[in-house]
Homo-oligomer: A and B are copies of this chain.
């Protein structure tokens, strides 16, 4: 048992080292040697865990997804119970977008991963599956909100889901300082207010 814990901790410390390097210089310039150095390991030790850059990225991104979902769970716990679907979507968007340092690190990892996935069939399948799962979760929430009269029954749930997903397009605009965080939040709030009219939709 202690050995397994060590093993997991080791992998996590490597994932964090990878994030640090990617955050500093981008995935394109990240080598396994540098990640090993940052993690205080030898290249051989790193290769014991990951035989390729691609495998290392996959692990780091799964770890990033776990971190994001922990932040979402924490954000949801702070909401009124049961939470309003509008507030749930707002928490998810805030944790996916680079508003805070920890969300920024995971958002950059995601951007690198998505770009890499466009040219790597294995990563492509993994990232597409993850995004489809996320999309399906948002669509279920929207369909439920239509049933519950919180969203107008005239809205198309698939289109509304896609428009929510499009809001992740703020990530590069926030990263590059083209849009200020409070402006992005105001836009997200306005979009959600239109979708969930105050006082219900019926």
Contacts and interface: CB of A to CB of B under 8 A. Distances in A.
A178 B128 contact: yes
Nearest to A166: B169
Interface residues of A, number: 48
Interface of A: 24-29, 108, 111-112, 114-120, 124, 127-128, 131-132, 135, 156, 158-159, 162-163, 165-173, 175-179, 183-184, 186-187, 190-191, 194
Contact of A191 (B135, B163, B170): B163
7 contacts: A26-B116, A111-B111, A111-B118, A135-B179, A158-B183, A166-B173, A169-B171
Contact of A165 (B115, B168, B173): B173
Nearest to A167: B166
Contacts of A127: 176
Contact of A112 (B115, B176, B187): B115
A152 B26 CA distance: 43
Contacts of A171: 169
Nearest to A27: B28
A163 B190 contact: yes
B159 A183 contact: yes
Nearest to A184: B162
